[in-house]
Structure 1
Amino acid sequence: MSQVLDTPPPSSPADPPGRAAPSPAELAALHGLTVSGARVSLAGYVRQLWQRRHFITAFATAKLTAQYSQAKLGQLWQIMTPLLNAAVYYFIFGVLMNSKRGVPDFVPFLVTGVFVFTFTQQSVLAGTRAISGSLGLVRALHFPRAALPISYCLQQLQQLLFSMCALVVICLAFGVPPALSWLLAIPVLMLQFTFNAGLALAMARLGSKTPDLSQLMPFLLRTWMYTSGVMWSIEKVLSGHHLPSVVTLLIQANPAAVYIDLMRFSLIDTFHASQLPPHVWALALGWALLAGIGGFIFFWQAEETYGRG
């Protein structure tokens, strides 16, 4: 029996005499086999995402619908939640701190800032937990993992559209007349969505390796909100204080402030172009491309590691 086991296997009849048997890697290449879970090319990854666009949309809609399914008021909370947040900020900053002084149409001004920043804030928070909070789905099914953070951003965009309906009513109630400039809100939302998606993708990769990051992000985002002119006018602060040029540049180039100011310029007739930072549309496009493309590539580079370990 020992003699039989020690005898080397006979060579395949197909192998020429004197040639070694092919290695496993050579056999895999010969039969078209690839490594399971290997990262595809960037172009191939984009194609895979496009093929699953219906899944991304359906997943985002299902998450939004289920978000308030246990509440008695149901989907009404999609409008009430941002309105209540705006009411709290109005009481604290508009009434107690009197930051509304000298700001025309302060209520539409404030509500616009709260809604637009919440879109970015919730997209980043959801992106941070997109992989670490969906490990069961990631490990059970094969799909491009970028579909998760993108679908969460799409969910927040759908939430924002509900909020924008309430914002239109608020603008009309406080005497802001409808105008053609309202159409500018569409490209602003497209640019901000691209920026948010890229940021969510980057945070999804970081959050998949460091789950504690999701505990830190609310504090960082709250600090970002207070420096983005959500509750106060950046133009009045800059004109009333002699700040160093570097600080002024950082405040004006803040991406959250850029998208907030563009939305205010689009919807509020008393918010004039002179209150916008220089080259504001170029800044909005630049941030969208930088975050969108950079975040996507950064996430794709670690595609094969998600859900492992």
Structure 2
Amino acid sequence: MIEAPVATATVPPPGGAPGDIPTAQELAAHYGLVRPGARPALPSYLRLLWGRRHFVLAYTQARLLTMYTGARLGQLWKLLTPILNIAVYYLIFGILLKQKHNTGSGNYISFLCIGIFVFTYTRESVTTGGKSVSDRLDLIRAVQFPRACLPLAAVLVQLEQLVMSLLVVAVIVLGTGEPLTVHWLLVLPALAVQTLFNTGLAMILARVVATVRDLGEVVPFVMRTWMYTCGVMYSIDKVTAHAPKVVATALKLNPGAVYIELIRGALLKSYPSPGLFTWGLAGGWAVVSLLMGFVWFWKAEDRYGRG
């Protein structure tokens, strides 16, 4: 008995002729299949990131709780660290180098404290955010989530640290004779735009360091150099009074200096309040940094943790 040949059916691709053998790409597109770990479209990525907001907050709190678990004083170091930093910088720049006369305020200790902690917020956000991906490869390879959660959480950790530092700063500012005024409320929008700026910069560095890990060791030196151009210990206006105009302008447009100016103008009555141009500049730096950083980071979403 002769058996009839068994017919083999083929699935025609969309729009293809019967009998054509579809490619894997055509079948995937036809049935809505995507490659595991593929980079989603930008709108979808934003929705995914928003959907993981609780994960970001939980991860942030976990990082905060583990920061000082090995220390005997534990979380008390959140307050001791800023106090010790103030003492060291005041000894060096206020007493030894006598920078008191190079400020726009007669209250040098408050002037110095604000500059230190505002810039430290940016410095630590960028430094820890830059390593947030390269140092968490085990988590990236084990769990599927938007990788932007990691630099975002790194910035939020530093924001909470800054809040603790600002409590110390507030006590020092009031203790040195500065009044509590309604202008203190301007600290909130100033920190908001600085946080956006820090987040964008952290995402840029996170992708760079994830690609070339050795660059993560260079970042602290770059940030230290940047600090000395931001007017942390001195007033840019006073120091550049006789400098070339291009130098003075470049230092004043420096985003690190801009955010320090906003906080000093809000907390210190003895310091000149920044104008609308400074606020606009701060917002512009924040928008540019966040947009560039987020898109730059998203473009490499499918490459983090591979290789």
Which TM bucket (shorter chain)? over 0.9
SS of 2:195 mapped into structure 1: helix
Determine which of 86, 110, 113 is the counterpart of 1:111. 113
Say which SS state the counterpart of residue 213 (structure 2) adopts.
coil
The 5 A counterparts of 1:137-286 are: 137-239=139-241, 242-273=242-273, 276=274, 279-286=277-284
Q: Please give the per-residue CA displacement for 1:189-218, whole angstroms capped at 9, x wherever unaligned.
A: 000000000000000000001111111111
Name the CA distance, whole Å, in 1 between partners of 2:228 and 2:286.
Answer: 21
Cα distance in structure 2, aligned partners of 1:94 and 1:183: 28
1:247-293 C-alpha deviation (Å, 9 max, x unpaired): 111100010100001100000110113xx478101110010001011
In structure 2, distance between residues paired with 1:231 and 1:202: 27
Q: Match of 2:289, as an amino acid?
A: A
| 8 Å CA contact retained: 2:68, 2:77 | yes
Q: Return the TM-score normalized by structure 2.
A: 0.93
CA distance in 2, matches of 1:183, 1:270: 17
Q: 1: distance between equivalents of 2:11 and 2:251?
A: 72
Q: Partner of 1:299 in structure 2?
A: 297
What is the DSSP-based 3-state SS (H/G/I as helix, E as strand, rest coil) of the residue aligned with 1:178? coil
Q: Compare 17-26 and 206-215 and name the one that shifted more.
A: 17-26
Per-residue deviation at 1:37?
1.2
The aligned counterpart of 1:3 is none
Residues 9 and 244 of structure 1: CA distance in aligned 2, closer, same or farther (over 3 Å): farther
- Paired with 1:41 and 1:61, the residues of 2 have a C-alpha distance of 29
Distance in 2 separating the partners of 1:78 and 1:17:
69
Change (3 A) 1:94 1:9: farther
- Does the Cα contact within 8 Å between 2:236 and 2:248 map onto a contact in 1? no
Secondary structure at the residue paired with 1:272? coil
Shift of 1:64: 1.1
Structure 1 partner of 2:99: 99
For 2:136, the aligned partner's letter is S
Q: TM (normalized to structure 1)? A: 0.92
Deviation, structure 1 residue 102: 5.8
Q: Is the 2:237–2:248 Cα contact (8 Å) retained in structure 1?
A: no
3-state DSSP of counterpart to 1:279: helix
CA-CA distance at 1:31 after TM superposition: 2.7
Q: Residue type of the partner of 1:292?
A: L
Quick one: distance in 1 between partners of 2:99 and 2:19? 84
Q: Over residues 118-158 of structure 1, what are the superposed CA-to-partner deviations in whole Å (9 max), with x where a residue is unaligned?
A: 00000000111011100001111111100000000011001
- Residues 203 and 18 of structure 1, relative CA distance in 2, 3 Å threshold: closer
Q: Give % identity.
A: 45
Q: Please say if 1:45 is aligned against 2:42.
A: no
Structure 2 Cα separation of the partners of residues 223 and 149 of structure 1: 22
CA distance in 2 between partners of 1:14 and 1:43 (Å): 32
- SS of corresponding position for 2:263: helix
Corresponding residue pairs, total: 298
What is the Cα deviation at residue 27 of structure 1?
A: 2.4
**Helix, strand or coil at the partner of 1:157:** helix
Structure 1 runs of 4+ off > 4 angstroms? 13-18
Task: Identify the residue that residue 58 of structure 1 maps to in structure 2.
Answer: 58
In structure 2, the partner of 1:4 is none
> What amino acid is the match of 2:286?
A
Check 1:9–1:150 CA distance in 2 against 1; reply closer, same or farther (3 A cut): farther
Answer whether contact 1:128 1:213 (CA < 8 A) is retained.
no
Q: Distance in 2 between matches of 1:54 and 1:269?
A: 39
Per-residue deviation, 1:81: 1.0
What runs of 5+ residues in structure 1 fail to find an aligned partner?
1-7
Task: Describe the shift of the 1:307–1:93 C-alpha distance in structure 2 as closer, same or farther (beyond 3 A).
Answer: same
